[in-house]
Structure 1
Amino acid sequence: MQHYTFHPTVVVRNPLLPFRPESLTETHIRALVHEDWFLEAIYLASPELYRTAVAWRDGATLEKRKEEKLWASLTKYYSRMMSRCTPFGLFASCAALEWGEASIIAFEETKRHTRLDMHFLCALALALSRHPNIRKQLRYFTNDSLYTIGDELRYVEYIYSEGKRVHQLSAVEGSEPVRRVLEAARSGTDYRDLVRLLCSDDISKEEAGDFVDELIAAQLLVSDLEPALTGEPFIEQMVQVLQRVFVQTQSSEAAIIIRQLEQIRQSVDTFDSSTSNTIEDYRRLIAMIKALKVPVEENKLFQTDLFRQLPQGQLPMEAQQDIRAALEVLNRLSTKRKANHLTAFVQRFTARYETREVPLLEALDTETGIGYLPDQGTPLLPLVEDIVRSGNEQKTSMEWDKVQDWLFQQLKTATEQGRYTVALDADQLADLPEADWEDLPPSLAVLFRWAEDEQGQKRIVIDHAGGASAVNLLGRFAYGDKRIFDTVTDIATTEQAQNPDCVFAEILHLPESRTGNILLHPAFRACEIPFLGKSSLPLDRQISVQDLYVSIRQGQVILRSQRLDKIVVPRLSNAHNYSHNALPVYQFLCDLQHQNKRTRFGFDWGNMAGKYSFLPRVTYKNTILHAATWRLQKDQIKALLADTPVVGLPAFQDRLVTLADGDNELIIDWKNPLSVQAFKDAVKNREEIQLKEFLYEHTQPTFQDSVTRTGFVHQCIGLLVRQAPAHAPAVFERPVTSLSRRFSIGSEWLYFKLYGGVKAADKVLVNYLKPLCDELQQRKWVDKWFFIRYSDPDPHVRVRFHLTDSSQIGDVIQLFYRFLQPALEARYLWKIQVDTYERELERYGFEAIAQAEELFYHDSEAVLAFLDQTEGDAREELRWLWGMRAIDVLLDSFQMDTQQKLDLLTSLRESFAKEFNLDIALKQQLDKKYRLHRASLQHLLTKDPSVECDPLSIILTTKSANILPVALQLSAAYAPSKITYWMSSYIHMLVNRLIPSEQRLHELVMYDFLCRYYQSSKYLEVAL
């Protein structure tokens, strides 16, 4: 695991109670409903269930179905209290400890952290912002989603529909008064100052106030009562705002509300000082809350997290070795996550903007830009907007690679042999790709547990590993535990220190009020990106979405802060499932976390797993990588409901299993009537279910109750931090504002697209375009021109002419059609189209674009000369060889020595090797092909006099003489790193012009051959 080290801190998650499945009895549950601690946990999870349970306890008669439902719910909740580790209310906890000597971890008392639910707090803030004596004393900020398109100001606002936030894109005319107010409010301005800004001889104070009120109502202005998602708890934020209002106005209403909030906050704190609280305590608090005269929903009022006290004990350091060995295997079995939305965005962006850098909000605008998510630009269609489309409308493809084939063979063999466990070893893994640690994030989390197998051997179970950052699972718990806060701060600081060429910036967005419960956390990153979510950091550490610019470099999305002039890598330090009904900007920023990174890897049986009813356990050395899993269909579920044995599957009814629904798991004990009944209630209407073996039934406890010494189910979170950069720097150049980017018809550049077949392109270039270019230059109407091959998706040739006098454009067009019309009539072309030439200034340099165009001109002339002097099969044999000589001549023109050539071509080869997933089989093909052509290549590149006199070589000699002044000019003016960056594009375009199809595969082969040649040349130089 190159570059990765374990952080000293480990976080352990446990259910509230020790694991005692024998306690799941009717008698015990009847006793539990008399226990305050149990009832409090039930109340916080479901007040309605609490009331039903208490009524039943006190003798109320329930309908049979309602009583069955009550028993099923109480059974599930009690089972969860002793078997499920995911933190939830008072049902499970988390704690921080350290790696060290092996020991038994003794749990003592719990510590709780209670706060008011964000659903209520957001409703309270909204009510306060509308209070007539408070509203005009608030500070207002410009809506942080605002951007300009033409004369319009566009922004996102939200409305409440059925109690939920619904966002919508809105627009207003950007009049001078509106712009003046919004500009003044960018850093926050008091209401009265905004009114004063508008007052004049023609506008009264009342009229100015009405105007500001309209901007507030339209949400173009938002108050400082909006929640900051980092920093102080939200109730503290509100108190601070109200205290400022009171200082300014001595408002009695503000004083009363401050006093009420202080009393509520103190009561909440009192809850956390006790091990349990009665429902009467909650009712008294709710009465205080209702005095604020804001609607209260009892089931959305309290948010409680549970923490453990760990006075002694450490996790054994030797476990790290087993975890590393397991991650090595999982690394080799895991493929890069496909970011489909990002991939489609890159394609659309490149087609529209090529290498331009454009404002992010402009690019994501659904009307004037390219948008991000599918169908987001569809206009309102009331007749069909609520129709759910058929599931088979969108087809998905199944990818198959060497890893998938290996998994399938292992699964197939295990099934044929009836094996319950697949024990992997080094010999079986030999056919897999080597582990790659360079495409992983700056830090990652590993979720693991200890268990014992049937032979009593203690093993580590790896649940999964990954995350865009190791802090994602821990962020929301940083409020309640200082050790967790210190840990996430340390990891975030290390990530930034190891990647100084970029800025990691926290995404702040509140899509829904209740979602704030998992989004809120202390600020632990240096910068934040607020988008409809307030930041608590100073303005100089906030990166507005208006400051973000996006471009594409080598197929990768680059996000840059214009103000900081640095690459921005967004981060979402929580476990929010952001892809559900997300706003495009929010999802784009969140998706960007995972770009070119494998941010999740765990054992997965692969694409064919769905075809099998049983998936065996997988082990490697002392670790379990995958728990045995059963997939039951409707008929098998019916058999279980009827207490009939399920045949044809390895036995699962003689052991504890879990009913798995993603992260939701319900433990099933087939010998326990209550557990079986809860299972039946859960699956009776299901078409398919998944059961997993429960691996902790006989495990000697690592975590114990300090009094009873009974063991706890557990899940540990190990934190791996990369001690090296994970994000490579990108090359950027500031724009030259006076430089023209776009050239439409009538300007100095004239641009045609010639649509025709791939094979016909060479004929069009030689027989029609070359004579035209010769004629245009002879008449001195054009001083340079160039072409490229392209598909959009139809194949075509793009030709750009630079006119010596734009007033002669009519003559040039007339001559163009005179030469090209025969190609249309002969069906070599099927369409000619005039277009706008947009210079790729970011790709080729703002101040170096003219030199790039000069290079492209001489390159195009050389390629046409090559095509003119070759034909048939001989041309195809010579094409790629001549192309490699052309690359070498280009490098010579820039005075590159052998080592510099080798470094550049090695970088290009590695890039294409990743693109084409260069494995052993493909490498062997390249080896064989190179041996076949090595002699010809060496003869061509050694500058033998007989080669130099060859007509095709003379073409390159002429080209070299023509471009040498340009090369010397660039080399003298720019750093070697910039020249190297541009050279990769120059070479790429050379291959594009020369090779009619499969250009990128040709590049892989040609770069590989040149690397081999330069490497051997380097050896010869050393030997001499």
Structure 2
Amino acid sequence: MKESGSMVYRFLPKVFLRAPYYSFSGYDLSRLPEVLQEQAFLNAVFLASAGFYHLLEKKEFDFDRLTDKEKHTLSKYYNRMCFRSTPFGSFSSFTLLNWGNGGQVRLSGADESLLHLLPDQAMLRELRTRADSDLAETLMVNPMLYRFNDVLRYTKSALDDRGKFNFSLQGIAAEKFNVNLLAFLASKKVSKKMALSWVIERGDCSEEEAADYIGFLLDAEAIFAASQGGVIDQELIQDFPGLPGWKDFWRDNTKTALSEGVSLSALARDITRIGADPKLNKEQPFYAALERPVKVGGPDSAQQEELSRAIRILQLLNVVEQPADLSRFIRDFRSRFDQEKVPLLLALDPDSGLHYADMEPSMTEQDVLANMPFANGKEKNRSLAWHSTQQFIFRLWVGDTLRDPWAPLQIREDDVARLENEVGPGLPLPQTQALMYRSTGEYLIMESSGGVTATALIGRFSCFSDSVYRLCRELAEIEAVANPDIVFADIAQQSDSHVDNINRRRPIYDHEVPLNVYSSQPAENLVLPADLLLSLKGEELILESAKLNKRVIPRLATAYNFRNNHSPVFRLLCDLQFQSLQAGLSFSLENFFPGLNYYPRVCYGKVVLCLAKWVFRDADIAHLSIKDNQVLVQALDIFRKKHHLPRHISLGETDQQLVFDLADPAEARFFLQCIEGSKRVTIQEYLLPDRSVLAGKKPVAGQMVAFLAHQNNIYKPFKKENISIKGEKQRDFLLGSGWLYFKIFCIPRASDEILTNVIFPFIKSQKKRIKKWFFIRYNENGYHLRLRIMAAEDDLGAIIVALRKKIESSGHEKLIRDFQGDTYRREIERYGAALITEVEYLFYAGSNLAAAVLTLRRKRTLELSEFEQAMFTAYHMITCFLPSLASITEYLSKIAGRFMAEFNGGKPLKVAMDVKYREMKSVLADLSESCALSKHLSPVLKQMSVLNELTKKYSKDKKMELLANLVHMQLNRTFSVNQRQQELLVYYCLQKYMASLRAREKSLS
């Protein structure tokens, strides 16, 4: 789906402000001894590292008793609390605002700020496990449980020593008792008492034996109890009956006013005393966030105009890349399952399905593909082609020879107009977006924009603030209203006992996909993984719920970096969020031109799209490690002048930045300490904030998060074609039940030899018995031929014997590496029940054509090459099926474009294929003429006409999709290796040829 070039976003009324606790204007490293006595700072240190806090406590918070290393760590924390706006712990705060009409945002001072506290996720997990017997237990099936043959498989999650979850595939026997028990538990959450009664009654066992078996299933994680825990819940504080003071403690301390001078270390000791349980002595029992109420003001709504213009240029500059892992999975899914609907968990099963993020098929050279620069699947798009946006920036950067090389790049209005013409329409924008920026007075600095939903950036704060939770729900509702009949479902996954603190959130979307969690949501709100199906529609991987009969769009309403998780189901669901969206709107020169030492600032009007950046290697900064402070500061001054470093800089990236004033000797030394021993140092210019945000009477480095939304529909519900189907068609044929299906494994080069000398003579000798037959080539679990034979059941045994004898007597048995029989499963999803029989007749005719061609080629009586034959066949199949030159050129362009996208086809590949097209031009001119193949092609075209008549009520898109499938299968029989690469070349040449015919037709008319 393409998006119009106009700005479609509107700004929502709310703005989320992130701001450091301290003012940047009062930052002074010499104040550290004084800061170390402030309770707010000590609380922030405690939340960041309880271990480091206790070390300071042992030294009575006496700065002079600290080692240099400890002082250095303290300096980093202080710097963070003055400059870094990311609200982790209490280093910085969050505030929900409305847009204003100018003036300042005035936040409440420390006395009115609220410190929100929740129990740490790791501590909760430990408490749930220990209090298992005290909890009002209900049980549910592991949401990742599914059946594979005679085993019930599921994913088990286990914590390692570092608190990270590892995932393994486990299984229990799919015996009738287990199947029925797990079906009973899957229907709804069941009390432990009911489960025991069920096992006692149907297992004919004692209560003790039943309890042991339930315990076994819990330990194995085939079923979950509440002790499994989760990350999405309305009830933020769970009760533990065995800890009588637990709930009272959190009721009193969930919201704590900083004016009370509370000590988090003292509160942590209070937790230890609850229930007189020494095991509650966790080093860090809290997950916290600091909220500062607003007294008056909001960001100036006049800024929206500048920000809107910046969003437009970011759309144009952004090079959309679908996640590489998802692209590979779609390619492999197409090869493995084609258009079949496959259960999600079976599609990712290591035996029946595909790996995720770990697939790389090999390719073999073919003469016709010589000098064709096909991309390696693992290469990034940006290294394969020189995009128009890169060309634009390069001209802007290098083309102006009069520009000071250290000066900012300024994008002007005429540049934008030119870029709009070059780039054209893009993919749809996400329904909602979070735009993060800060103001310097002179500029608005874009700090982050992108993602697939604005809920991701603020979802974790829904646990702390009802107003933020309502905003999250409003953002989710915008998606739902704009996309009716689509189910948006939040992915619930535990990944890391510490990091899962930021994954905790209240239910933001109406539905949830639970993975390794004990969900607190009602059954009607759950979309279980076992209920999800995957299929391909065009180039999109479609996820749908069998129970709801609707398309499902996964969402992750948290800023967690899901690529740190190693669960394939979770990773696939998360990557699916980004499919077919222009999700990333942030801009970085380094992404366009990696490996350089310097990148200038890029501006558009008053908006800074990216700040100037310097990248240094260890060799560049080795001379800055001199021990003499005076000499060192002088060396840094020379270094600054050489590389044109500004006075104020930041070190590091994203939420790990430290800010320095290099003109201040103390800060300069602090900077040099921070880069000591680094292999790579990334420095950005730092533009000081303005006074638009005040806390009390002091300015703070406020960072605004604006929310944008549009009402355009992005996700279409399923379209059901009104094509009548007469009777049900049998899908599966076991070996010997009307169809024989054999897999003949061999090397690719031997396949034609086996077809010519074994299969075709055998088919001819059995023509009285064989009603239909066809073959295709396949490369799953090894290259092989797939041979299907239809005959009367009484004849099937004789046919099998005859085929075995033919193989043995032909002298070619050594070319066959393996020979397997299998069930023939008709491709109903691809062709439809109404057409499948006629499609099989086309395959029959196409296989006879392939047999005739290979026979003629062996006798050296065929002048056409394999590639010329493919173009001849494809040309006639296409022109037989489509009525006009206009529809033919549209079809060829669409399919050629699809193949180019599959192979990341850039300019080098196009140039190489243009050369091949010129070589083939004379052959293409003779395509419509009679040739040696016409007689053998006639049955194919006759059957194409039958299918054309049967599909005259099909939509244009569906008919073109069917044609692409039919041509693909015939070209598969034609080419023994590299079928898809050669198929691209066929379509490319035909597209160029038919486009020239259409141009000639237009000129004549």
Cα drift, residue 889 of structure 1: 0.9
Question: Deviation per CA, 1:512-562, whole angstroms, max 9, x where unpaired?
Answer: 333331111121212111111133332122011111223345454332222
Q: Which residue of 2 aligns with 1:249?
A: none
One-letter identity of the residue aligned with 2:281: V
Q: Mean Cα displacement is larger for which, 344-353 or 564-573?
A: 344-353
CA distance in 1, matches of 2:758, 2:195: 66
Unpaired segments ≥5 residues, structure 1: 243-253, 377-393, 453-457, 942-946
Inter-partner Cα distance in structure 2 for 1:721 and 1:887: 43
Cα 1:150/1:37, change in 2 over 3 Å:
same
Alignment check: 8 A CA contact 2:773 2:788 kept? yes
In structure 1, what residue type is equivalent to 2:124? L
Offset of residue 448 of structure 1:
2.2
The one of 38, 41, 44 equivalent to 1:38 is 41
Is the Cα–Cα contact under 8 Å of residues 776 and 785 in structure 2 kept in the other structure?
yes
C-alpha distance in structure 2 between counterparts of 1:395 and 1:958, whole Å: 42
1:442 to 431, 437, 440: 431
> Which residue is 2:522 aligned to?
538
The match for 2:444 is 460
Identity of aligned residues (%): 23
Instruction: Read off the aligned partner of 1:198 and give its amino acid letter.
Output: V
- Report the TM-score when normalising by structure 1: 0.81
Q: Following the alignment from structure 2 to structure 1, what is the Cα–Cα distance between the partners of residues 924 and 64?
A: 92
Does 1:615 pair with 2:595?
Answer: no
* Worse-matched range after superposition: 117-126 or 70-79: 70-79
- 1:380-408 CA-partner distances (Å, limit 9, x unpaired): xxxxxxxxxxxxxx997782311396366
CA contact (8 A) 1:549 1:560 kept: yes
Task: Classify the secondary structure of the residue corresponding to 1:234.
Answer: coil
Amino acid aligned to 1:726: I
- SS of alignment partner, residue 401 of structure 1: coil
Structure 1 residue 921 displacement after superposition: 9.7
Inter-partner Cα distance in structure 1 for 2:51 and 2:533: 50
Offset of residue 571 of structure 1: 1.4
Q: Which of 253, 263, 267 is 1:282 aligned to?
A: 267
Match of 1:475 among 459, 484, 489: 459
CA separation in 1, counterparts of 2:796 and 2:913? 51
- Residue 439 of structure 1, CA deviation: 5.2
Partner of 1:716: 704
Within the candidate set 656, 665, 674, 1:664 is matched to 656
> 1:885 offset after TM fit, Å?
3.4
Q: Give the 3-state SS of the residue equivalent to 1:90 in structure 2.
A: strand
Deviations 1:96-119 (A, max 9, x none): 334464443222343432222222
1:631-670 deviation line (CA, Å, top 9, x unaligned): 2222443433331235497545551111114530011122
Aligned to 1:246: none
User: Pick from 869, 876, 879: which aligns with 1:888?
Assistant: 879
Change (3 A) 1:449 1:279: closer
Q: Tell me which moved more, 401-410 or 541-550.
A: 401-410
> Within 5 Å, which residues of 2 pair with 1:657-736?
657-696=649-688, 699-705=689-695, 707-708=696-697, 710-728=698-716
1:887 to partner: Cα distance:
0.8
- Secondary structure of the residue aligned to 1:402 is coil
* Structure 1 residues 138 and 752: alpha-carbon distance in aligned structure 2, compared to 1, 3 A threshold: closer
Query: For residue 210 of structure 1, what is the aligned residue in structure 2?
Result: 212
The 3 A distance-change label for structure 1 pair 460 and 149 is same
Asked if the contact 1:101/1:314 (under 8 Å) is kept, the reply is yes
Contact in 2 for aligned 1:40/1:276 (Cα 8 Å): no
Structure 1 match to 2:236: 234
CA RMSD of aligned residues (A): 4.5
Distance (Å, rounded) in 1 between the aligned partners of 2:357 and 2:920? 47
Match of 1:91, SS state, is strand
Match among 987, 990, 994 for residue 1003 of structure 1: 987
CA distance in 2, matches of 1:1015, 1:527: 52
- Paired with 1:558 and 1:375, the residues of 2 have a C-alpha distance of 20
What SS is found at the alignment partner of 1:444?
Answer: strand
Larger displacement relative to structure 2 (812-821 or 488-497): 812-821
Post-superposition Cα deviations, 1:469-505, rounded to whole Å, max 9, x if no partner, equal 2211111112333443233222212222333354221
Q: Deviations over 1:703-733 (max 9, x none)?
A: 234x52x432232223333432333556789
Please tell me whether residue 423 in structure 1 is matched to residue 410 in structure 2. yes
In the TM superposition, what is the alpha-carbon distance from 1:690 to its structure 2 partner? 1.1
For each residue in 1:815-853, what CA deviation from the matched residue of structure 2 results, as whole angstroms up to 9, or x when unmatched?
69859987969x9x8878556454333222245322321
Q: Which residue of 1 aligns with 2:368?
A: none
**Distance across 2 between alignment mates of 1:541 and 1:552:** 26
CA contact (8 A) 2:48 2:89 kept: yes
From 576, 594, 598, give the equivalent of 2:560: 576
Unaligned runs of 5+ in 2: 361-376, 627-631
What is the distance in 2 between the residues matched to 1:821 and 1:399? Answer: 53
Q: Which moved more, 1:348-357 or 1:1005-1014?
A: 1005-1014
CA distance in 2: counterparts of 1:648 and 1:297, whole angstroms? 46
Q: Does 1:782 align with 2:770?
A: yes
How many angstroms apart in 2 are the aligned matches of 1:619 and 1:988?
48
The structure 1 residue matched to 2:830, chosen from 826, 843, 854, is 843
Q: CA deviation at 1:629?
A: 1.4
> Which one of the candidate residues 983, 989, 994 is aligned to 2:969?
989
Counterpart AA for 1:121: L
SS at match of 2:455: coil
AA aligned opposite 2:552: V
| 8 Å CA contact 1:884, 1:1010 repeated in 2 | no
CA, structure 1 residues 414+744, in 2 after alignment: closer, same or farther (shift >3 Å)? farther
Distance 1:878 1:370, change over 3 A: closer
Paired residues, what number? Answer: 953
1:865-922 alpha-carbon deviations (Å, 9 max, x no partner): 7886984368866863563232121235xxxx78876776665455446446688999
Cα distance in 1 between the residues matched to 2:863 and 2:807: 24
Aligned twin of 1:514: 498
**Deviations 1:21-61, CA, capped at 9 Å, x for gaps:** 553142x3333233333333333333444455456566586
Give the whole-Å Cα distance in 2 for the aligned partners of 1:1012 and 1:272. Answer: 76
Q: Is the 8 A contact 2:880 2:944 kept in 1?
A: no
Matched residues in 1 for 2:207 and 2:904: separation?
A: 68
Is the deviation greater in 982-991 or in 790-799?
790-799
Task: Quote the Cα distance in structure 2 between the aligned partners of 1:761 and 1:192.
Answer: 62
| AA of the residue aligned to 1:142 | V
User: How far does residue 414 in structure 1 lie from its aligned partner after superposition?
Assistant: 8.7
Question: Distance between the aligned counterparts of 1:818 and 1:964, measured in 2?
Answer: 36
Cα shift readout 1:955-983 (whole Å, capped 9, x = no counterpart): 666544445445444557x7777555434
Corresponding residue for 1:264? Answer: 249
Q: In 2, Cα distance between the equivalents of 1:811 and 1:954? A: 29
Contact 2:878/2:963 (<8 A) preserved: no
Measured at CA, do residues 863 and 150 of structure 1 come closer, stay the same or move farther in structure 2, by a change above 3 Å?
Answer: closer
Worse-matched range after superposition: 121-130 or 215-224: 215-224
3-state SS, counterpart of residue 233 of structure 2 = coil
The structural deviation recorded for 1:411 is 6.2
Mapping of residues 325-344 of structure 1, within 5 Å: 325-337=309-321, 339-344=323-328
Partner of 1:391: none
1:85–1:92: 8 Å Cα contact kept in structure 2? Answer: yes
Residue type of the alignment partner of 1:858: A
1:222 is aligned, of 224, 232, 250, to 224
Using a 3 Å threshold, how does the CA distance of structure 1 residues 7 and 193 change in structure 2: closer, same or farther? same
What is the distance in 2 between the residues matched to 1:336 and 1:534? 36
Query: CA separation of 1:935/1:842 partners in 2, compared to 1, >3 Å: closer, same or farther?
Result: same
Residue 181 of structure 1: CA displacement?
Answer: 3.5
Question: Structure 1 296/451 Cα, relative in aligned 2: closer, same or farther at 3 Å?
Answer: same
The correspondence of residues 43-58 of structure 1 with structure 2, limited to 5 A, is 43-53=46-56
**CA distances 1:432-483 after superposition (whole Å, capped 9, x unpaired):** 951543154433333222236xxxxx22222232112221111111233344
Q: Against the structure 1 CA distance between its residues 396 and 919, is the aligned structure 2 distance closer, same or farther, given a 3 Å change threshold? A: closer
Aligned position for 2:28? 24
Q: Measure the CA separation in 2 of the matches of 1:18 and 1:399.
A: 43
The residue identity in structure 2 corresponding to 1:149 is: F
What's 2:611 paired with? 627
Distance 1:72 1:620 in 2: 39
Q: 2:589: which partner in 1?
A: 605
Greater shift, 115-124 or 288-297, is seen at 288-297
* 6-15 vs 490-499, greater mean Cα deviation: 6-15
- Asked if structure 1 preserves the Cα contact closer than 8 Å seen for 2:20 and 2:701, the reply is no
1:471·1:574 contact (CA, 8 Å) conserved in 2?
yes
